Copies of this chain bind each other. A is one copy, B any other.
Amino acid sequence: MSRIADPKAKIMLLRAAEEVFAEKGLAGAKVEEIARRAGVSKGAFYLHFESKETALKQLLESFLARCHSYFAPPAAYPGLPEDPADLLDFSLARDVQIYEFLWQNRAFLRILPSCQGNTDYLVIAFRAEIDATTREWVDYWRREGIFRPEVDADLAATLIGGAYNELSTRMLLAETRPQLEDWLRFALETFFRAFGTPEMVAAVDFRNQRVSQGIGGRVADALSNQMMDRSRATRDHKERRHI
């Protein structure tokens, strides 16, 4: 009995909404345009969403949740490498993973700045979360003797967060995928040089020599092959270090 709902409708609407929100922002986006791009009527939009804000909130929550799994604190990586060079490789591989994800979702990233009104608390909370996670990393690195003890964790996290955020902004302006690896290596070295102990800075220099001699990072390969299996990846680092 009765008619069956189009199962693609909601997905198409979400996709269209993502597009239009990214182009126009919350206020500028028109429900009619979202519906038209999804190939359905305006009324159909309201079969799936209570309001325009609801749709944006739904999109945001889903995206931020996916982001969340990428911006993990150090506690989420039980077996972090201790060797400075391996640590650099690991961090770079992790950054590349994150920015690859951001690049894939660049359409979505464009929505965030436009969240100025009723939904901005979501973005603000997310930024605060990122900032706290960055701070955790700085604290961790300081405890591990990688960063100098006198480095102010709050300020360091602010600078790091701002710099990386600017990189993502710059990525959004690019038409083709930038050399994220180069960008992120540069950023990583910048902050390791700035905040690292003299030993760490020396390790950065040494690693650059090694790289310029054509010897690639070992950990980076391991991590990109086994993205999800962190414990195995770190076990690999340790084993190889003894070779």
A residues contacting B by CB (< 8 A) are 25, 27-28, 113-114, 116-117, 152, 155-156, 158-167, 169-170, 182-183, 186-187, 189-191, 193-195
Contact = CB atoms under 8 A, between A and B. Distances in A.
A158 B162 contact: no
Given A28-B117, A162-B164, 17 more contacts: A25-B117, A114-B116, A116-B116, A156-B186, A156-B190, A158-B163, A158-B170, A159-B163, A159-B166, A159-B167, A159-B186, A161-B166, A162-B166, A189-B194, A190-B191, A190-B194, A190-B195
Nearest to A27: B27
A191 B195 CA distance: 10
Determine the main DSSP class of A at the interface with B.
Answer: helix
A27 B194 CA distance: 42
Contacts of A186: 152, 155-156, 159
A182 B159 CA distance: 13
B155 A183 contact: yes
Contact of A162 (B25, B156, B169, B182): B169
Given A114-B116, A195-B190, A162 B155 contact: no
A163 B161 CA distance: 7
Contacts of A27: 27
A163 B167 CA distance: 10
A62 B167 CA distance: 29
A181 to B, nearest CB: 12
A95 to B, nearest CB: 13
Interface centre among A161, A166, A183, by most chain B C-beta atoms within 10 angstroms, is A166
Top 5 nearest A-B pairs (CB, nearest first) are A162-B166, A159-B163, A194-B194, A190-B194, A162-B163
A97 B161 CA distance: 24
A29 to B, nearest CB: 12
Contacts of A166: 158-159, 161-163, 165
A123 to B, nearest CB: 11
